[in-house]
Every structure is written in structure tokens, then in C-alpha cells.
Amino acid sequence: MIEVFGTSTYYEDLPAGYRDKRERGHIYEALVPYSGEEHPRRLKVVAAEEGTEPWCEVEEVTLNAIRAAPAVPELELATREALIVRKAKCRRVILLSCPPANWQSGPSSSEGVYLVAPIYSFKSHDGADHRSRVKAYAYNTLFWLPGDETCGMLEGCVRLDRVQPVHSSLMEAKPIKLMPDALDALTAWYGAYLTNRIPQRIIEYRSEALKQLG
């Protein structure tokens, strides 16, 4: 991957003032919910007395149950709404999108929401073969990232099937970003995942790398 895009490193340090910027390729720590839950869970009011907070419990529901849900004034919910309970983790992410344009339409307006790609560090069970195959673009949802002690980055990968919107208030900037070539590679591979069209430069590298792995 480094060989394809001609860069000797993936990361660069950021100058003072980086916390106030939102630029593509910057690395943040963000609150990222886990995805892929088969059954949604929501808060259900089981007891409510005027002037006190409602007593709630978590229940597993279906999409049809949420579609048919009545209003719940105790939780300020309208019909067809629910407070969903999801497990989340603060993890590093890469900012993919540009700052959103400002707009206003009646009471609705734009928000500071960005598209981010979560980073997952390799674990002990991720063997050398798996890591090499991620690096060789074998999986359309995984993008390899090298470790770099000076940047505090562990070897791992970006999960492209976990790209999601995150509000700016839930993003804490880190003093590092991807080098332009590395960001270009990530963007190209994300585009390939979305469109099933792999850029020629990646096809050539991928074919040779996978051939060497056998």
C-alpha cells in the first residue's frame, strides 16, 4: 500500500490550533456505537409519577414495534420514536467528510455532523496472514494502518463497514493526521467498497500482493 502511493509514512504531526479545525484525514477520539446488532433495544417506561423522573427498563423490540410505538411524554417521544440503547466505545476515528454547509429551513437547520471511519487495533488473534491480507486489500471493508510509536498509533485497520456520522461535540482532536497519499488511498478504497469498482492502481498492487501471499 505504501509502495502504491509512494509515501514513506502514513502520519504527520499537526501544528498548534489543530483542535479548532475539522479537516479530512485528521484523527480524533470519538464516541462510536457498536454496529451490527441484530435486535434493537429501547427504554420502556414502567412507572412514572408526576414531578419525578420515570422508572425505565431496557427491552428488546422489533422494527414493527417501533413503527407502531405510541407517544411517550415522560421521555419526550412522539409516535414512532424510541430511545434506543446501544453499546458504544470511545475509539480513534479518521475524519472523511468536509465541514457541512450551513442551511436553514423553518425550524430545521444544519448540524455539525461529520462522517468518520473507526480505527480498530489488531489483537493477538489477528495473525500475520490476516494482517498481510488486510494490507494487500483482500477485504473490501478493511483498510490497513501501520503502527507508529511516535504518533501513539498501533497497527490496525479502518472498518469501512462501520463508517458513520458523529456530532462534532463528540469528537476530540488528536495532534496527528494522515498524509495526503494515505488519505487518498483510504478514500479510493472506500469508494471501491461503495461502488464495487476498484481503481487500476489498487488492482495492480492487490493482484501482485495476493499472488505473493498464495
Give the tens place of pLDDT for each residue, 167-202.
999 999 999 999 999 999 999 999 999 999 999 989
What is the C-alpha to C-alpha distance for residues 186 and 188, in angstroms, rounded to an integer? 5
Pairing of strands 55-60, 113-121: unpaired
Residues 13 and 175: beta-carbon distance below 8 Å? yes
- How crowded is residue 57: how many other Cβ atoms within 10 Å of its Cβ? 10
The pLDDT value recorded for residue 49 is 85
The answer on 113 and 50 residing in a single domain is: no
Q: Are residues 200 and 117 in the same domain?
A: yes
Please check whether residues 177 and 134 belong to one and the same domain: yes
pLDDT at 73 over 70: yes
Same domain, 19 and 114: yes
What's the CATH number where 8 sits?
2.30.30.110
Domain count along the chain: 2
Please write the tens of the pLDDT for every residue from 129-166.
999 999 999 999 999 999 988 888 999 999 999 999 99
The CB density around residue 133, as the number of other CB atoms within 10 Å, is 17
Overall residue count recorded for the chain in this entry: 214
Give the pLDDT mean for 21-42.
89
In a domain? residue 167? yes
Which of 157, 143, 109, 114 shows the shortest CA–CA distance to 23? 114
What is the residue range of 62's domain? Answer: 41-75
Q: Where would I find the H helices in the chain?
A: 2-5, 63-67, 128-135, 180-195, 200-213
Query: Is residue 93 included in any domain, yes or no?
Result: yes
> Is 80 a member of any domain?
no
pTM: 0.89
How many whole angstroms separate alpha carbon 62 and alpha carbon 101? 35
Indicate if 100 and 10 belong to the same structural domain. yes
30-39, 53-62, 155-164: which has the minimum mean pLDDT? 30-39
**Range 88-97 average pLDDT:** 96
Which of 9, 7, 1, 32 lies closest to 153 in space, CA to CA? 9
Mean pLDDT over each residue of the chain, to the nearest integer: 91
DSSP classification of residue 148: B
Amino acid of residue 152 = G
In this predicted structure, what is the pLDDT of residue 2? 47
Q: Does one domain contain both 57 and 31?
A: no
Average pLDDT over residues 16-21: 86
Same domain, 21 and 45: no
Return phi, psi of residue 94, to 5°. Answer: -110, 130
Residues 29 and 51 in one domain: no
126 DSSP 8-state letter? S
Bridge partners of residue 145, in order along the sequence:
156
Claim to verify: residue 171 and residue 191 sit in the same structural domain: yes
Cell of 134: 488486510
